Amino acid sequence: MTTTETPVRRITTAKAMAEGIGLEMRRDPNVFVMGEDVGAYGGIFGSTTDLFAEFGAERVIDTPISETGFIGAGIGAAVEGLRPVVELMFIDFYGVCMDQITNHMAKIHYESGGSVKVPMVLMAAVGGGYSDAAQHSQCLWGTFAHLPGIKVVVPSNPYDAKGLMISAIRDDNPVLYLFHKGGQGLVWMEKNPRSIAEVPEDSYTVPIGEAAVAREGSDVTIVTLSLSVHHSLDVAEQLEDEGISVEVIDLRSLVPLDVDTVLASVAKTGRVLVVDEDYRSFGLTGEIAAIIAEQDPTMLQAPFRRLAVPDVPIPYARPLEQGILPTREKIAASVRDLMA
């Protein structure tokens, strides 16, 4: 990633996203934003904060509740050379527009034999933990990573949020940008200290397809992403006192997936726990198991472990939801089991 000399200040992930979009809008008149409540409201989860005031209704466009309509329109605009940044308010709403996303946005470049490009960013809020129940709390990144033709990025902190947004907007391919509501640093949600951090004011990119070693360790590898990175780092600090050295891999991108970084860490520690706020089966946790088992199952000194939502919809009541989310307590317990 490009480094920078300018002084840094601490901002939220939400602000960092909006700042990344704003920088690209100043730089390239073809960039514009579309979505529900992205205008004066600034995005329900702050992803377009202050953009409307600077760029106006022509470039920050509130849409009807017609996701198939405006995502399809984003595709058409991208095909004609614009660079739309389209917000799907919650990823949970994918079902009303999945055809445009996966049969069109994702496939046009390939179907056209490379003659048509679809340079578009589709951003959506993911995740639970605040009792928004079954239709507003999912992550679903495994669903999108399974379907070819879309790059999928999932930043976990303000620095990556800005850098990956700029990379996504400059990318000539459709990029799905998933941000966790609990990691946005919103004043009206549970405060998460890692959602506010130092972010350079000027422009920089974080490359798509590169995982980050969020914390080095030698005993166990936690492969994770998004808000679970925060929890995993908390657990790693706590377990250090118990003499367990945890390495935390923040995948940051799912498509392309940084297989090398994952394998290098597992080769080093010999123990792996995948922490995933998406559903357990047929998703990310399985993919990580597969790349390890394909490479060399004997890398694993202990059985593979995964901690994810146990294949039930996200329930409403706090004890129910906390019971199925990958909380710090469950992460710590899983690591201890792995070491036992």
Partner 1 sequence: MTELNRLDLYNQMVRIRQYEARILQEYHADKTPAWDIGAGLIPGEMHLSAGQEPAAVGVCAHLKNGDAITAPHRPHHFALAHGVDMQAMTAEIYGRTTGLCQGKGGHMHLFDPVNHFSCSGIIAQGYPVACGQALAFKRKGTDHVAVAVAGEGAANQGAFHEALNLAALWNLPVVFVIEDNDWAISVPRSHSTAITSNADRAVGYGIPGVRVENNEVEAIFEAAGAAVDRARSGDGPSLLEIHTVRLWGHFEGDAQAYRGAELDTLDERDPIPKYAEALKERGELDDDRIAAVKADADAEVDAAIEFAKASPEPTAEDALEHLFA
Interacting residues with ligand TPP (CB under 6 A): 36, 65, 67, 89, 93, 96
202-226: buried (b, 16+ CB within 10 Å) or exposed (e) per residue? ebbbbebebbbebbebebbbbbbbb
Neighbours of 192 (CB within 10 A): 20
Q: How far is the CB of 100 from ligand TPP (least distance, A)?
A: 11
246 binds, among ligand TPP, partner 1, a copy of itself, none (CB under 5 to 8 A by kind): none
Residues 12-51 contacting partner 1, CB under 8 A: 32, 36-37, 39-41, 44
Kindly state whether residue 289 participates in binding a copy of itself, applying the rule CB under 8 A: yes
* Residue of 193, 181, 221, 196 whose CA lies nearest to 305: 221
Q: Between 96 and 267, whose beta carbon lies closer to ligand TPP? A: 96
Size of the site for a copy of itself (CB under 8 A): 57
Q: What angle do CA 264, 268, 274 make, to 5 degrees?
A: 70
Give the pair of three-digit tokens for residue 186.
Answer: 């919103």
Question: Judging by beta carbons within 10 Å of its beta carbon (0-12, 13-18, 19+), is residue 100 exposed, middle or buried?
Answer: buried
117 binds, among a copy of itself, partner 1, ligand TPP, none (CB under 5 to 8 A by kind): partner 1
* Residue of 338, 152, 331 whose CA lies nearest to 258: 152
Kindly state whether residue 149 participates in binding a copy of itself, applying the rule CB under 8 A: yes
Contact 218, 119 (CB under 8 A): no
In this structure, which amino acid lies at residue 273?
A: L
Kindly state whether residue 185 participates in binding a copy of itself, applying the rule CB under 8 A: no
Active site residue 104: no
270 binds, among ligand TPP, partner 1, a copy of itself, none (CB under 5 to 8 A by kind): none
Count of alpha carbons within 13 angstroms of residue 168, beta-carbon side:
31
Kindly state whether residue 4 participates in binding a copy of itself, applying the rule CB under 8 A: no
Kindly state whether residue 96 participates in binding partner 1, applying the rule CB under 8 A: yes
Show the binding pattern over residues 122-141: x = contacts partner 1 (CB under 8 A), - = does not: -------xxxxxxxx-----
Question: Judging by beta carbons within 10 Å of its beta carbon (0-12, 13-18, 19+), is residue 315 exposed, middle or buried?
Answer: middle
Residues labelled as active-site residues: 136
User: Interface residues with a copy of itself (CB under 8 A)?
Assistant: 68, 92-103, 106-107, 110-111, 133-135, 142-143, 145-149, 254-255, 257, 279, 281-290, 292-298, 300, 303-306, 311-313, 315
